[in-house]
């Protein structure tokens, strides 16, 4: 909200997917905008963040050096006269005149500005401190915070958001090639413009090429049990195709709806032919592939906590639906092979009534994409269905497409649909599940049953780890569930492992503990050894705050690498303690604060670990 007005400002991109054919979209397939919405009058005004840009000029070095791509966060000044916006894909923040969204200043958070995609920062969040004339920028990809001087529009510093970054090296090295708009010919788009956060934009695009060449993909007629390899001609005018997720890619699978890209490396021409840039080195494509291999599907929220299906779902029986799905006579599972729902085969178009051959798609995201129902009177949040071209609304489940061997009758359709809507994604619902317990609900039988299920999955099927985090007796505590002992180990090596009952007995009137299911392997880090060095967090050694009197000032210093400690000050040793916000100096590997010894009250100083 813009202060003092009824205006809601929205950072957004506007897809140009109604423009057909890749050559017509080269270098310009999305506009980067902020949109002003009047909440009382209903007026909507869009402002282009790159006005006057010559999209016909490729490459365009000037545009690459100042374009604003994929805007995310917006923060207004207190008087509403201007705003700062984060441009995630271009590693820039910009100051806007709130009257007409004119760009008043741009600041690069990628330092040096010539650094490559591996050093991409990815600004995603903003906080403005007008009193200090500082803008703080949370860089999602680099896990850092940039400090911007708002008077000079310059970057003053960049500090880690924490003392330890657990991001896998493969993700750090490769993700920039997906999200970096500087790889495009004019700096306005990236692969992530459509594959938002490695996922999908929910839109259909016609990226056919009238000047393209025919290609051939090899498939088989598995639907009629004929494994003989058959050539499938692929025309360059392929028609509308829905953007597919990049999550959950399987090794050696053919890519694209038509299976006409054998590996991620075959997408390299997209940097040139669609984004208007240049091919990137093979090593960079390999780094991109390694990053994509780390992306997982979300848990399906329609499944129960123990990863089983509910007894009924929207009028269908998913258990019976699975049985019908795999029955040979129904032929569903012949091509949509479990567990992913795909045999990775490019099928004969006659088997599903299509206009061209299509690779059997995975069924793991059906529950996310079944958002269109074209029946009269329905409300929709998407204009695109489940088919490769965006046709086939929810009401056409479970088959969506024509299939001549379909033998389903009566309630079979509702049952198979229920199974598809509850389809397993490969990530258990236990991952991310949490319950917070206090004295008030520690004895709740339903919560106890949920925690028993959580522990059983960690112990039996290893689909998750379980950690406990919270405050006990005013102290931050962490515990990790030991699957072998069926006990909780604390963040202190001197403490013996506890049962859940013993753990909950620690709760006092002001205490709370949150039980959390994590991905397998993340339990030790999130449950008491955050940096994986084998030393429990509460056993980590403290840090000395060095104090020295120098020429009328008090100098406080501590190691520059100690990003998990913050200086605090108080008038009494008992507090209240508050952050010491004086500007920090850096010298000789030390962070320093200087306080005048005259004119200030006597105070106490300390370093506090933030975890």
- Which two tokens mark 490? 């604390």
Instruction: Tell me which H or E stretch contains 525.
Output: helix 523-526
Q: Tell me the range of 324-333, 339-348, 583-592 where mean pLDDT is highest.
A: 339-348
pLDDT tens-digit series, residues 544-558: 999 998 888 889 999
Q: How confident is the model at residue 27 (pLDDT cuts 50, 70, 90)?
A: very high
Instruction: Find out whether 138 and 108 touch, Cβ atoms under 8 Å.
Output: no
pLDDT at residue 601, as a whole number:
82
% of the chain at pLDDT higher than 90: 84
Query: What would the mean pLDDT of 96-119 be, rounded to a whole number?
Result: 96
What integer pLDDT is reported at residue 189 of this predicted model?
98
**What is d(CA 46, CA 44) in angstroms, rounded to the nearest whole number?**
7
CA gap 469, 480 in Å, rounded? 9
With vertex at residue 583, the alpha carbon angle to CA 582 and CA 586, rounded to the nearest 5 degrees, is 130
Question: How do strand 144-149 and strand 154-160 relate by DSSP bridges?
Answer: antiparallel
Is 80 exceeded by the pLDDT of residue 599? no
Contact 367, 300 (CB under 8 A): yes
**552 Cβ contact list (under 8 Å, min separation 6):** 596, 597, 598
Which token pair is 389?
Answer: 């071209």
Give the Cα-Cα-Cα angle 133, 557, 581 (nearest 5 degrees): 25
User: Phi/psi at 285 (nearest 5 deg)?
Assistant: -65, -35
Residues 6+ apart with CB under 8 A from 159: 144, 145, 147, 563
Q: Where in 244-401 does DSSP place strands (E)?
A: 346-347, 358-359
Q: Give the position of tokens 């020295």.
A: 548
HSE, side-chain direction, 13 A CA sphere, residue 366: 27
Rounded to an integer, what distance in angstroms lies between the CA atom of residue 397 and that of residue 394? 6
Task: Say which residue the tokens 């920039």 belong to.
Answer: 176
pLDDT band at 206 (very low <50, low <70, confident <90, very high): very high
Range 574-582 average pLDDT: 89
- In a 13 Å sphere around the CA of 532, the CA atoms on its Cβ side amount to 9
Residues of the chain with CATH 2.130.10.10: 7-179
- CB 237 within 8 Å of CB 342: no
CB burial readout 61-75, b (16+ within 10 A) else e? eebbeebbbbbbbbe
3-state helix, strand, coil in the chain (%, to 5): 20, 30, 50
What is the third-level CATH fold of 7-179? Methylamine Dehydrogenase; Chain H (2.130.10)
Read off the pLDDT band of 21 (50, 70, 90): very high
Place of tokens 């090639």: 177
Radius of gyration of the chain (CA): 28
* Residues counted in the chain: 611
pLDDT band at 164 (very low <50, low <70, confident <90, very high): confident
Q: Is the pLDDT of residue 306 over 90?
A: yes
Q: What is the pLDDT of residue 484?
A: 95
What 3-state class would DSSP assign to 532? coil
Three-state secondary structure call for residue 526: helix
Taking the alpha carbons of 36, 39, 41, 44 in that order, is the dihedral positive or negative?
positive
Name, in order, each residue with C-beta under 8 angstroms of 152's C-beta and a sequence gap of 6 or more.
none
- 405 pLDDT tier (thresholds 50, 70, 90): low
pLDDT digits (tens, 9 = 90+) for 40-78: 999 999 999 999 999 999 999 999 999 999 999 999 999
Burial 157-180 (b: 16+ CB within 10 A, else e): ebeeebeeeeeeeebbbbbbbbbb
pLDDT value, residue 568:
93
Residue range 238-256: mean pLDDT, rounded? 94
Task: Give the number of other CB atoms < 10 A from CB of residue 282.
Answer: 10
Give bridge partners of residue 609 from the DSSP assignment: 565
Alpha carbons 416 and 405: distance in angstroms, whole number: 15
Written as one string, the DSSP assignment of 423-492 is ---SS-TTTT-EEEE-TTTTT-HHHHHHHHHHHHHHHHT-S-EEEEEEEETTEEEEEEEETTTTEEEES-
pTM across the whole model:
0.92
Q: How far apart are CA 516 and CA 520, in angstroms?
A: 12
Contact 242, 194 (CB under 8 A): no
pLDDT mean across residues, the chain:
94
pLDDT computed for residue 159 by the predictor:
86
Sequence-distant (≥ 6) Cβ neighbours of residue 470 within 8 angstroms: 436, 476, 477, 511, 512, 513, 514
Determine the distance from the C-alpha atom of residue 589 to the mean position of all C-alpha atoms in its chain, rounded to a whole number: 34
Interval 413-427: pLDDT, tens: 999 999 999 999 999
- Residue 277's SS3 state is coil
Q: Comparing C-alpha atoms, which of 457, 453, 422 is closest to residue 435?
A: 453
Average pLDDT over residues 160-186: 94
Tokens of 187: 């700096």
Say if residue 3 is preceded by a cis peptide, omega within 30 of 0. no
Q: How far is CA 416 from CA 375, 396, 397, 398, 406, in A?
A: 20, 12, 8, 6, 12
pLDDT given for residue 404 in this prediction: 66
Distance CA 126, CA 457 (A): 39
Per-residue model confidence (pLDDT) at position 154: 96
CA distance 570 to 578: 6
Higher per-residue confidence, 405 vs 479: 479
**Tokens of residue 529, six digits:** 């050894």
Dist CA 147 CA 135 (whole Å): 6
Write the DSSP assignment of 552-579 as a string of letters.
TEEEEEEETT-TTEEEEEESSTT---EE
- Beta bridge partners, 103, equal 96
């Amino acid at each position: 909200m813009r202060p003092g007005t009824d205006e809601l400002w929205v950072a957004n991109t506007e897809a140009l997917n109604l423009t057909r054919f890749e050559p017509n979209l080269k270098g310009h397939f999305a506009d980067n905008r902020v949109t002003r919405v009047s909440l009382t009058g209903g007026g909507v005004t869009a402002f282009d963040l790159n006005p006057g840009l010559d999209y016909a000029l490729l490459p365009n070095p000037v545009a690459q050096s100042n374009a604003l791509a994929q805007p995310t966060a917006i923060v207004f000044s207190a008087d509403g006269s201007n705003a700062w916006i984060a441009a995630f894909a271009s590693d820039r923040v910009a100051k806007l005149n709130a009257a007409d969204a004119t760009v008043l200043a741009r600041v690069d958070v990628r330092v040096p500005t010539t650094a490559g995609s591996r050093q991409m920062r990815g600004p995603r969040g903003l906080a403005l401190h007008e009193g200090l004339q500082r803008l703080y920028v949370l860089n999602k990809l680099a896990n850092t915070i940039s400090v911007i001087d708002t008077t000079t529009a310059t970057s003053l510093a960049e500090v880690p958001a924490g003392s330890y970054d657990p991001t896998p090296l493969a993700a750090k090295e490769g993700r920039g090639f997906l999200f970096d708009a500087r790889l495009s010919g004019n700096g306005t788009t990236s692969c992530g413009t459509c594959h938002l956060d490695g996922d999908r934009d929910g839109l259909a695009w016609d990226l056919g090429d009238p000047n393209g060449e025919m290609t051939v993909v090899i498939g088989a007629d598995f639907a009629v049990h004929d494994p003989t390899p058959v050539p499938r001609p692929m025309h360059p005018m392929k028609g509308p195709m829905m953007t597919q997720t990049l999550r959950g890619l399987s090794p050696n699978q053919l890519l694209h709806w038509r299976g006409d890209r054998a590996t991620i490396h075959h997408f390299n021409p997209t940097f040139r032919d669609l984004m208007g840039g240049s091919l990137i080195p093979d090593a960079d494509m390999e780094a991109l592939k390694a990053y994509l291999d780390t992306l997982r599907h979300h848990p399906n929220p329609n499944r129960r906590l123990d990863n089983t299906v509910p007894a009924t779902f929207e009028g269908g029986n998913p258990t019976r639906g699975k049985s019908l799905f795999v029955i040979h006579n129904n032929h569903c599972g012949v091509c949509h092979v479990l567990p992913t729902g795909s045999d990775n085969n490019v099928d004969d178009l006659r088997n599903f009534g299509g206009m061209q051959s299509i690779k059997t798609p995975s069924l793991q995201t059906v529950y996310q994409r079944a958002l269109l129902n074209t029946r009269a009177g329905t409300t929709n949040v998407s204009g695109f269905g489940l088919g490769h071209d965006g046709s086939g609304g929810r009401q056409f489940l479970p088959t969506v497409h024509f299939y001549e061997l379909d033998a389903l009758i009566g309630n079979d359709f509702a049952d198979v649909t229920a199974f598809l809507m509850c389809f397993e994604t490969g990530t258990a619902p236990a991952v991310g599940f949490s319950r917070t317990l206090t004295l008030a609900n520690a004895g709740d039988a339903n919560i106890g049953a949920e925690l028993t299920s959580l522990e059983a999955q960690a112990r039996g099927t290893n689909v998750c780890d379980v950690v406990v985090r919270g405050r006990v007796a005013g102290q931050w505590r962490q515990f990790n569930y030991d699957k072998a002992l069926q006990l909780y180990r604390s963040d202190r090596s001197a403490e013996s492992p506890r049962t859940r009952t013993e753990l909950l007995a620690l709760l006092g009137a002001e205490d709370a503990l949150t039980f959390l299911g994590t991905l397998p392997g993340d339990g030790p880090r999130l449950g008491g050894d955050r940096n994986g060095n084998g030393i429990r967090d509460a056993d980590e050694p403290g840090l000395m705050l060095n104090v020295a009197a120098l020429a009328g000032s008090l100098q406080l210093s501590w190691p520059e690498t100690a990003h998990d400690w913050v200086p605090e000050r108080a008038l009494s040793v008992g507090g209240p303690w508050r952050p010491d916000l004086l500007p920090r100096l850096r010298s000789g590997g030390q962070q320093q604060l200087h306080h005048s010894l005259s004119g200030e009250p006597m105070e106490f100083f300390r370093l506090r670990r933030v975890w």
